[in-house]
């Protein structure tokens, strides 16, 4: 039988032990079929370790554990106590910030400073939903004098949660926070590219005192464990973040099985619009952060940049200088801004788009090649003079590749901005309040930033219009995606 733990080392933490089994019922167990898979360090292309791979049988066991907890211990836990557990977990995450951030840098390749930012946001998210746990209220509705009507928001039951590799711990917190606060139990499957930080997190779940079975965390492949979760007859909801193609598959599986509830947070091709009157230095910083943050592996990346004709040439020249200043390299160096892409597959996909941009005749302003000769590093890349019908303007690249085009006026840029199957995010840079509000209102996107980019917060709902998803995560709105309303009507005046 494969070992269920491994000794790992990072420059920040030194050596530490990591459990590599499946976390079910607060225990580390091996996968039933004994399978494991290798986890690759994207900076070196070397194997970090192997982890246990959940298959259908393991999903059944995890779901049964979650169901039992839902019907027993978790049902008997008061909302206040649920909040205390989430707060305790947040405290433990905060205490272990360096360990968790280092594992994220090792496994995902994001820079250690960004990874610490992610873990800080995990703490905020868990505390936020811990705060909500005992504030989830129904209504009394006055309909008739001889009746009492009230509503109860009740938990859905067992939630299957499938997360991507771009923000492994942060996506985990967005998923489990509202689910656990509202009294659900969870089986969460991490992305096969980045299972490690969630394994370290699972130890903290146990330490925080959650009853066994409330939160189960499994490593495994999408087409095996992910498919088993989304088609499971005893899973009441599936929440997914990832590609639009897989989102469609999950929705079909939910429909074909037990019509479980579905929330989806999918892809994007978000427009980032810069008007002539914008503060150009601030706009360049926002455009730079909008596309290159997390190596472009962000669902809301500002990957389509539209610059008004009066400042176009000046903007491109200044943005080139700014993008070339982004420090690309070893994620464990404090000054690094951009690490490697997550995998060989992602690297190849992105380089395919770079080639397509060149072949279709867009102008390479900077970058356009790999960085170094080892690891999945790509130079921050800017394409200018990109036509609206080019592949790099239409499809989600999910890498450090920015496509820029020129526009004349407000109406034209609204049309261009909305010319996408996606509608996750958008941004407007201008000093004119009327332009800012008018354009924000007209853009079909779940989030619009004005004079900034990527300003996400656990209190602010996030999600997509059009093919970018269904439902909202974060904020109070996420709670509704984890509860069912029950209406109770009582006839008064009778002896019970
Ligand atoms: P993906 O959608 O295949 O994977 C995301 C998650 O879904 C992983 O946990 C994976 O195991 C799981 N999954 C895959 N197939 C499944 C299935 N049939 N049933 C259930 N779960 C399944 O994403 P990817 O292949 O890693 O990346 C491909 C593209 O997706 C990227 O280039 C990017 O465009 C997009 N993406 C978007 C996000 C986002 O945050 N919206 C995140 C990751 C990837």
3-state helix, strand, coil in the chain (%, to 5): 40, 25, 40
| Judgement on whether residues 236 and 302 belong to the same structural domain of the protein | no
Whose Cα sits closest to atom 16 in ligand 1?
222
pLDDT mean values, one per 10 residues, the chain (496 residues):
90 96 98 98 98 98 99 98 98 98 98 98 98 98 97 98 98 98 99 98 98 98 98 98 97 98 97 98 98 98 98 98 98 98 98 98 98 97 98 98 98 98 98 98 98 98 97 98 97 79
For residue 469 and ligand 1, the question of a CB distance below 6 A is answered with: no
pLDDT at 496: 57
Q: Which amino acids are annotated catalytic? A: 265
Report pLDDT for 494.
Answer: 75
Contact 160, 190 (CB under 8 A): no
SS (H, E, C) 26-40: CEEECCCCCCEEEEE
Residues 445 and 481 in one domain: no
Is the confidence metric ipTM above 0.90 for this complex? Answer: yes
User: Is there a single domain that holds both residue 206 and residue 126?
Assistant: yes
Q: Which residues contact 401 (CB under 8 A, 6 or more apart)?
A: 291, 296, 303, 350, 353, 354, 357, 367, 378, 381, 383, 392
Bridge partners (DSSP) of residue 239 are 161, 263
Give a yes or no: residue 415 inside a domain: yes
Contact predicate 217/190, CB 8 Å? yes
Please give the pLDDT value at position 4: 87
Task: Determine contact, residues 264/247, Cβ cutoff 8 Å.
Answer: yes
Helices (H) and strands (E) in the chain, counts: 15, 23
Is residue 103 in some structural domain?
A: yes
Domain that holds residue 407: 271-457
What CATH number did the domain enclosing 37 receive? 3.40.605.10
Per the DSSP assignment, residues forming a β-bridge with 53 are none
Tell me the C-alpha distance between 108 and 370, whole Å.
18
The helix/strand/coil state of 302 is coil
Residue 491 lies in a domain: no
Is the distance from the beta carbon of residue 446 to the nearest atom of ligand 1 less than 6 Å? no
Q: What is the pLDDT of residue 3?
A: 85
* Total residues found in the chain within this entry: 496
User: For residue 490, is it within any domain?
Assistant: no
- Ligand 1 within 6 A of 298 CB? no
Residues 6+ apart with CB under 8 A from 297: 166, 341, 342, 346, 398, 399
Q: Is residue 20 part of a domain?
A: yes
CATH code at position 440: 3.40.309.10
- CA 301 to chain CA centroid, nearest Å: 12
Q: Please state the φ and ψ torsions of residue 182, each to the nearest 5 degrees.
A: -90, 5
**189 & 295 share domain:** no
Whether 245 and 261 map to the same domain: the answer is yes
Same domain as 102, residue 10: yes
Taking the alpha carbons of 175, 176, 182, 183 in that order, is the dihedral positive or negative?
A: positive
In a domain, 163, yes or no: yes
What's the pLDDT at 227? 98
- What is the number of domains present in the chain? 2
Separation of CA 240 and ligand 1 centre (Å): 9
Nearest CA to ligand 1 atom 44: 242
Are 285 and 229 in the same domain?
Answer: no
Total Cβ atoms within 10 A of residue 275: 23
φ, ψ at 222 (rounded to 5°)? -65, -45
CA of 101 to the centre of ligand 1 (A): 22
375 dihedral zone (left: phi>0; alpha: psi -120 to 50; beta): left
Answer yes or no: do 48 and 193 share one domain. yes
Give residue 253 CA to ligand 1 midpoint distance, Å: 15
| Assigned domain for 462 exists | no
Establish if 296 belongs to a structural domain: yes
480/261 Cα distance (integer angstroms): 12
Q: Is the Cβ atom of 222 under 6 angstroms away from ligand 1? A: yes
């Amino acid at each position: 039988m494969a070992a269920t733990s491994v000794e790992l080392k990072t420059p920040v933490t030194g050596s530490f032990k990591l459990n590599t089994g499946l976390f079910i019922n607060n225990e580390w167990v091996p996968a039933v079929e004994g399978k494991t898979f290798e986890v690759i360090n994207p900076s070196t292309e070397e194997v970090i370790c192997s982890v246990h791979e959940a298959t259908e049988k393991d999903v059944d066991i995890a779901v049964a554990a979650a169901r039992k907890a839902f019907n027993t211990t978790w049902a008997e836990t008061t909302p206040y106590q649920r909040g205390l557990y989430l707060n305790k977990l947040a405290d433990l995450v905060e205490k272990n910030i360096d360990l968790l951030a280092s594992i994220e840098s090792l496994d995902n390749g994001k820079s250690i400073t960004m990874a610490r930012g992610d873990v800080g946001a995990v703490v905020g998210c868990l505390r936020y939903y811990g705060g909500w746990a005992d504030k989830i209220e129904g209504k009394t509705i006055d309909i008739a004098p001889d009746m009492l009507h009230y509503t109860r928001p009740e938990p859905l039951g067992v939630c299957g949660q499938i997360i991507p590799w771009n923000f492994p711990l942060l996506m985990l917190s967005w998923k489990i926070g509202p689910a656990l606060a509202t009294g659900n139990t969870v089986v969460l499957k991490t992305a096969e590219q980045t299972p490690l930080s969630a394994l370290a997190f699972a130890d903290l779940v146990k330490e925080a005192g959650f009853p066994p079975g409330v939160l189960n965390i499994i490593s495994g492949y999408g087409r095996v464990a992910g498919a088993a979760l989304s088609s499971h007859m005893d899973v009441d909801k599936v929440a997914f973040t990832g590609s639009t193609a897989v989102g469609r598959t999950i929705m079909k599986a939910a429909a074909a099985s037990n019509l479980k509830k579905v929330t989806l947070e999918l892809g994007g091709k978000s427009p980032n619009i810069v008007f002539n009157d914008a503060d150009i230095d601030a706009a360049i910083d926002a455009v730079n952060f909008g596309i290159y943050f997390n190596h472009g592996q962000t669902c809301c990346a500002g990957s389509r940049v539209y610059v008004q004709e009066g400042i176009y040439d000046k903007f491109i020249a200044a943005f080139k200088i700014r993008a070339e200043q982004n420090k690309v390299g070893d994620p464990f160096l404090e000054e690094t801004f951009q690490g490697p892409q997550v995998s060989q597959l992602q690297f190849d996909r992105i380089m395919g788009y770079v080639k397509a941009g060149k072949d279709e005749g867009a102008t390479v302003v900077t970058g356009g090649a790999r960085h170094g000769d080892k690891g999945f590093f790509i130079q921050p890349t800017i394409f200018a003079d990109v036509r609206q019908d080019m592949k790099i303007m239409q499809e989600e690249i999910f890498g450090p590749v920015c496509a820029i085009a020129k526009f004349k006026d407000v109406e034209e840029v609204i049309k261009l901005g909305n010319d996408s199957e996606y509608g996750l995010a958008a941004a407007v840079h201008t000093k004119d309040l009327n332009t800012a509000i008018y354009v924000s209102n007209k853009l079909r996107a779940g989030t619009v930033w004005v004079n900034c980019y990527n300003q996400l917060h656990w209190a602010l709902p996030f999600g997509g219009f059009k093919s970018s998803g269904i439902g909202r995560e974060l904020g109070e709105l996420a709670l509704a995606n984890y509860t069912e309303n029950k209406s109770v009507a009582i006839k008064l005046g009778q002896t019970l």
